[in-house]
């Protein structure tokens, strides 16, 4: 059996194969398309182990590798960089490093999400892109108006475009043509984001809907946040302990420990950015708008002693673990225990 490392990129990918002792059996650079990769992989014994870093192309590449009769392992890219550091970095050397990691077994394999989870995440990322685009366009419009001494002020989303047109007509008519294109783009992005959200909700049914509703029993957790959680975690049984969940999302404090010295810093932010963003938003909703409950009171006490930002992150970390426990137990949130209760 060969151990094959593939450093994949948009146009070309570097391939390196080694034997069990780490001796190079062959190297090549091939086009990043299915046919070229299959032709290259056909050179090696069926059932060889192929090591790939977790990148946006990793899942596609994994399916190509498996169709060629080989085993694929997607590894944590951060862990791979920590294992082998060099001031001389090339794609060929990276492929060799991946192959050597495969032969030695010194790697951290990442969870491969189900097809339904990948679809959910793509939908959520698409919506998030539209939301960010709409916010950026609205900020740009407000900034252009401020340059002319015009302030839009607080206004609902439904009246934003109307209010801007009113102010421009009253104070600076010459800006109308410039802002109309920006307003149209803003409206389209905001409208399409809402359409995607409705479409995602429409498709949920049966067991999936029941799970989402159970997670939404936690204050601050709405349809989008529960959907992001399910799409990212995918399989709750892959976490053996609660701490692993907060680590995975990147909400655990960083730790430096050596001898008798131990220092805890800010959160690692090494986990999934999409879910972390949603959980922090859920914590904000809970602390500001949520009903009175044990979790909110705990967050409020922390806000008074540590400040708003730290309290929000701490509540987000609690939510990450709490939702995991609700998923596993089949229970609903008990607001006064701050823990699951039988449905």
DSSP 256-276: EEETTEEEEEEE---S-HHHH
Spatial neighbors of 55 by CB under 8 A, at least 6 apart, are 8, 77
Alpha carbon of residue 252 to chain centroid: 16
Contact 299, 283 (CB under 8 A): yes
Q: Which pLDDT value is given to residue 328?
A: 94
d(CA 272, CA 83) in angstroms, rounded, equals: 21
Q: 2 CB contacts (<8 Å, ≥6 apart)?
A: 17, 18, 19, 25, 44, 45, 48, 49
- Let me know if 235 is exposed, middle or buried by CB neighbors in 10 A (0-12, 13-18, 19+): exposed
Is the pLDDT at 339 greater than 80? The verdict is no
- Is the separation of the CB atoms in 318 and 324 below 8 Å? no
Nearest 5 degrees, angle CA 221-CA 225-CA 227? Answer: 120
Q: How far apart are the C-alpha atoms of 215 and 282, rounded to whole Å?
A: 12
Q: Decide which of 3.40.980.10, 3.20.20.80, 3.60.21.10, 3.30.420.40 is the CATH code for 3-104.
A: 3.30.420.40
pLDDT value of position 126: 93
147 pLDDT tier (thresholds 50, 70, 90): very high
214/135 Cα distance (integer angstroms) = 30
Domain ranges of the chain: 3-104, 115-203, 206-341
Contact 193, 131 (CB under 8 A): yes
Mean pLDDT of all residues in 122-139: 94
Contact between 63 and 46 (Cβ < 8 Å):
no
Q: Which of helix, strand or coil describes residue 14?
A: strand
Start-to-end CA distance of the chain, whole Å, equals 52
Q: Which helix (H) or strand (E) holds 71?
A: strand 71-75
pLDDT, average across residues 104-112: 84
**What would the DSSP string read from start to end of 201-223?**
HHH--HHHHHHHHHHTTSTT--H
Judge whether residue 85 has pLDDT over 50: yes
**44 touches 19 (CB < 8 A):** no
Q: What is the pTM of this model?
A: 0.76
- Lowest mean pLDDT: which of 15-24, 60-69, 110-119, 175-184? 110-119
**Which pLDDT score, from 0 to 100, does residue 112 have?**
86
- pLDDT higher than threshold 70 for residue 266: yes
pLDDT, mean of residues 265-289: 88
């Amino acid at each position: 059996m060969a151990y094959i490392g593939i450093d994949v990129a948009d146009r070309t990918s570097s391939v390196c194969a080694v034997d069990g002792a780490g001796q190079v059996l062959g190297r090549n650079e091939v086009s990043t398309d299915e046919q070229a990769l299959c032709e290259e992989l056909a050179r090696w014994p069926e059932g060889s182990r192929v090591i790939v870093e977790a990148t946006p192309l990793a899942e596609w590449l994994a399916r190509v590798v498996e169709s060629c009769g080989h085993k694929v392992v997607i590894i944590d890219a951060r862990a791979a960089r920590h294992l082998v550091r060099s001031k001389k970095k090339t794609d060929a050397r990276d492929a060799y490093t991946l192959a050597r990691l495969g032969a030695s077994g010194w790697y951290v394999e990442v969870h491969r999400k189900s097809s339904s989870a990948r679809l959910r995440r793509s939908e959520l990322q698409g919506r998030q892109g539209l939301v960010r685009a709409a916010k950026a366009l609205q900020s740009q419009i407000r900034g252009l108006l401020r340059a002319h001494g015009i302030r839009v002020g607080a206004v609902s989303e439904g009246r934003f475009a109307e209010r801007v047109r009113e102010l421009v007509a009253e104070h600076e008519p010459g800006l109308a043509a410039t802002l109309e294109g920006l307003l149209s783009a803003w409206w389209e992005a905001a409208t399409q984001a809402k359409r995607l959200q409705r479409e995602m909700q429409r498709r949920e049914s049966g067991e999936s809907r029941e799970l989402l509703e159970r997670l939404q029993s936690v204050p601050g957790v709405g349809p989008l946040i529960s959907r992001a959680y399910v799409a990212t975690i995918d399989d709750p049984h892959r976490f053996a302990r609660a701490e692993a969940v907060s680590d995975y999302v990147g909400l655990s404090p960083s730790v430096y420990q050596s001898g008798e010295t131990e220092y805890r810093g800010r959160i690692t932010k090494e986990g999934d950015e999409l879910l972390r963003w949603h959980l922090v938003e859920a914590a904000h909703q809970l602390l500001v708008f949520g009903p009175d409950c044990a979790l909110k009171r705990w967050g409020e006490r922390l806000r008074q002693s540590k400040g708003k930002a730290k309290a929000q992150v701490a509540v987000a970390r609690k939510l990450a673990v709490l939702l995991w426990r609700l998923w596993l137990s089949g229970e609903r949130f008990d607001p006064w225990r701050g823990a699951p209760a039988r449905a």
